[in-house]
Chain A
Amino acid sequence: MSFIRKFIEQETINRRKFLLASAMGIGGAAAAGAFGAGPVRAALTDPTIAWSYRNRTNPYWNEIVSGGEAFVESMGKPKGDLVHLINDGSSEKSLADVKALLAKENGNVALAIDTNDAPNCRPVVEAVAASKGYVSTIWNKTDDLHPWDFGDHYVSHMTWSDLGPAEQTARILFDKMGGKGGVVGLGGIASNNPAIERKQGLLNAMKDYPDIELLDYQAADWDTQKANQIMSSFLTRFGDEIKGVHCANDTIGYGVLEALRAEGLQGVIPIVTYDGNPQAVELVIKGDIEATVFTNPHWGGGITAALAYYAATGLFKPSDEPHASREFYGPTIMITPNDAKAFKAEYLDSVPTYDWKDFWGPGNGQIHY
């Protein structure tokens, strides 16, 4: 039974360490107060920059992180200096990683994070604020949580509203169809917020087009293979009735295009997608896709890290900024065959060098609930 004894001993030591650490923490805070550091601690020097995200398999997150790396490099550091906290879709791991990093760096952290789901945002932000680090979040946050409730330590939150752009792609699609005929839709994972908004965008656009009929809308889970299979089944079910396809993202669009290609229908049935991945932009130039929407994840990944970093180093004081600078929508750029070439030249052929101190220029205004 020695392992049980060992475990108990270890736990006892851990608890002792924890108590000591807490006492020191309180003492330290008191001492800092006594020496007149003020309610806001002086800016951090050379904080560790970290990005916490799902994983790199997904092209979207890959772009986000490449932006984070570009930002780190812009300061003359090797991109390996960016700490990657990969949660693989687990909120528990996301929070545990953040806490571990805060403990290791003693709070000297500038963190950019998507907390994986909305409820996880609060504990993450609270943990960072408690150890006087700085955090900027994207995508997931509950509506009752606001950066300005945490002084300077919760720097900013950025998200993207897909409702408007998805509606716009639907209008482009309907116009291409001549304003009448049957449409099928392929959505993302049904419970995902962007999937819900992109579907709603399609439905909103339909109100102005009485002759457009939505034949069916199925969840393709953002997956190319699934989308391919669903589209070919749609062709069986509706045949010639299908005059247009609304896809919730580019990867779904690729699967749909191939299902159409297999039937010799490529270019006959117009499709619109979302996300503006480089390959989708190529397809827009070729005329295979009528429209996609670029949300500039590279900029999003860089600027989120930059916000946390420059707030931490004291370049700006978040609490002096208006609310619109602390909760804002990310950029969306519509890409159609007319402007796809120009878009590609500007954003894709060479990744633009962004001014990582222009925090709010490309954004889309304050988040409204």
Chain B
Amino acid sequence: MSQFMTRENLQKWAPLLVLIALILFFSAANPNFLSVRNFARITMAATPALMISLGITFIIIMGSIDLSMEGAVAVCAVVFATLFLSLGGVLNSWAWVALPAALVVGSIFGLINGLVHVRLKIPSFMASLSMGFVGIGLSLLMTGGDRIRVEDPIFRSLLTERVLNFPLMVYFAGLALLVAWFIQSRTRIGRNFYAVGGGEELAHASGLNVNRVRVIGFMIAGVFYALGALFAVARIGIAETATGYNLMFISITSVVVGGTALWGGIGGVWNTLVGVLIVNVIANGMIVIGLPRYVQDGVLGVLVILAVYLSTDRKSLAFVK
């Protein structure tokens, strides 16, 4: 018994067990929950959040934090929509350039974020929080507070076209997840994230350019934020300053609930997938069983405390600040 109930095992499998338990609970409460159509709805709602969460996963593995996602998403969404419309507004023209352009903007945003953090030696939470505000301000400047509608049917087919009952965007998100997994497990930079998060001094002493790893980490996160922005625009058809609204809370909650430790070095993209699904299953399930929506924030809060509790080795901590 005690062999299986080790902290490591619990830490590894608890998120998945929680997800399964939630699905069983909601299905028992309302059988409609357990249907392909509903899972399509849950995954559809989850795609933008999954992209943001994948980005922040790398940062958290490094032991840093990034709070700039709301600003980054707003900037990427607005730049994408503005460029897309000015280049023709339909995907089968030069407007497709807006898609890679958004990713470039995301990476530049991440680059600046990383440089501010590393070069100016500002703690990552403060550097990224400030950059987030800069992003919100920038997108507001570009839009003047207006919303930009993207109505091209080909672009919107990400939402409206379905293969095997799931919209196209879900498959593209799956592809991005595989890319993230590849970065994490098959590339040097992926391993370096764990090295930095596991013990920065050691990594530095082994000759690793920690600052470079950090900056690249923020750039990769920026690209995923841009992907999240694209999916968010595809889902709603609107790009605005508020496109990224609430994504900070949702993404960090997802990553933590998925079992990636805030101290760095532990966890990964699959944890994040489970975490995002937990958060979205709760959001969907609460409504499906007829509870008021604001209860869900409370439940999520409790889950975060539980997740952090499980992922913390208290013996190794002299104090908590």
Contacts and interface: CB of A to CB of B under 8 A. Distances in A.
B245 A262 contact: no
Interface string A207-228: 0000000001011100111101
A61 B144 CA distance: 11
B159 A258 contact: yes
Given A218-B287, A230-B287, A59 B235 contact: no
B235 A237 contact: no
Nearest to B48: A225
A225 B236 contact: yes
B124 to A, nearest CB: 24
Contact of B147 (A230, A236, A279): A279
Given A228-B45, A258-B236, A258-B237, A237 B246 contact: no
Which range contains the number of B residues in contact with the other chain?
Answer: 35 or more
A228 B32 contact: no
B288 A225 contact: no
Interface in A88-137: none
B145 A236 contact: no
Nearest to A232: B41
Interface stretch (B61-69, B172-180, B289-297): B289-297
Nearest to B280: A229
Nearest to A184: B287
B293 A57 contact: no
Nearest to A264: B160
B284 A236 contact: yes
B145 A262 contact: no
A182 to B, nearest CB: 13
Contact of A224 (B45, B238, B284): B238
B287 A261 contact: no
A8 to B, nearest CB: 31
Interface in A8-36: none
Interface string B278-290: 0010011111111
A68 interface: no
A77 interface: no
B136 interface: yes
A47 to B, nearest CB: 27
B38 interface: yes
A237 B140 contact: no
Which range contains the number of A residues in contact with the other chain?
Answer: 20 to 34
Nearest to B148: A279
Contacts of A57: 136, 140, 145, 241-242
A235 interface: yes
B254 to A, nearest CB: 14
B218 interface: no
A216 B147 contact: no
Contact of A229 (B45, B140, B160, B290): B45
A64 B246 CA distance: 25
A219 B45 contact: no
A59 B146 contact: yes
Contact of A239 (B32, B44, B236): B32
A258 B235 contact: yes
A292 B289 CA distance: 30
Contacts of B292: 218-219
Given A57-B242, A224-B236, A237-B30, A262 B284 contact: no
Contacts of A230: 287, 293
A56 B287 contact: no
The 7 closest A-B CB pairs, nearest first, are A233-B287, A62-B145, A232-B41, A236-B38, A237-B288, A56-B145, A229-B45
12 contacts: A57-B136, A57-B241, A219-B294, A220-B293, A230-B293, A233-B288, A234-B287, A237-B32, A239-B32, A254-B238, A255-B236, A263-B37
Given A232-B284, A233-B285, A236-B41, 7 more contacts: A57-B242, A225-B246, A229-B280, A232-B41, A232-B44, A239-B32, A262-B44
